[in-house]
Amino acid sequence: MIVKIIAIAMAGAILNVIVRQHKSEFSFAVAIATGIVIFSLIKDDVLSVISLTKDYIESLGLETKYIATLFKIIAVAYLTQYGASICEDVGEKSIAMKVELAGRLTIIIMTAPIIFAVINLIMGILP
Amino acid sequence: MGSGVDLIFKIAAIGIITALLHIILKNSQREELALMTSIAGVVVVVFMLMYEISTLFDTIKSLFGL
């Protein structure tokens, strides 16, 4: 599976070099298409990892609410990195920085309830 | 639409064909037509990509429960 992904990535990169030379408008399209194809390959593995972790956490009897937020944060991080790297490919560093800032902010907003829960827990323990 | 690897090759093929068309039309002294074909090629590719990107984001949303 990994060999297939590497082969596709190299094919996309080589095609990107050719396309960028003649007509630079299509270089971002080839990059995005390669990203989409590679993600569609690893989709099943991601699903199995998620269900694996969720079942394990449930078997431990812990609360799964925070684990769901954790997966959401992973998704936001992945999407932000995806968008930022596409912007950087095209050469728009400033837009990439803005996308990353927005991604960090959403993650902070998502983690707020967890941080408050942890702090409340600690305050409860302290005498 | 083009699921799997042929999406990449389709987009690259459209890019190269548009580049060729651009050069041919430029040599036959039809500058504006060459520009039109280039823009048309970009529009076609962007529409194809838009469909694929929306499916990608939907799968991510359903996968991670966003």
Domain total of chain B: 1
Contact with chain A for residue B36, Cβ under 8 A: no
Residues of chain A in contact with residue B5, where contact means CB-CB under 8 angstroms, are: 8, 11, 37
Q: Which of A26, A47, A72 sits opposite B66 (nearest CB)?
A: A72
Q: What is the pTM of this model?
A: 0.83
Question: With an 8 Å Cβ cutoff, are B11 and A29 in contact?
Answer: yes
CB of B15 closer than 8 Å to CB of A22: yes
CB of A48 closer than 8 Å to CB of A77: no
Q: What angle do CA A106, A112, A118 make, to 5 degrees?
A: 150
Q: State the complex-level ipTM.
A: 0.82
pLDDT in tens, A73-113: 999 999 999 999 999 988 899 999 999 999 999 999 999 98
Domain of residue B32: give its range: 2-64
pLDDT in tens, A42-53: 888 989 998 998
Residues of chain B in contact with residue A30, where contact means CB-CB under 8 angstroms, are: 8, 11-12, 15
* Rounded-to-integer distance, Cα A79 and Cα A94, Å: 17
pLDDT of residue B43: 93
Residue with tokens 């590679």: A38
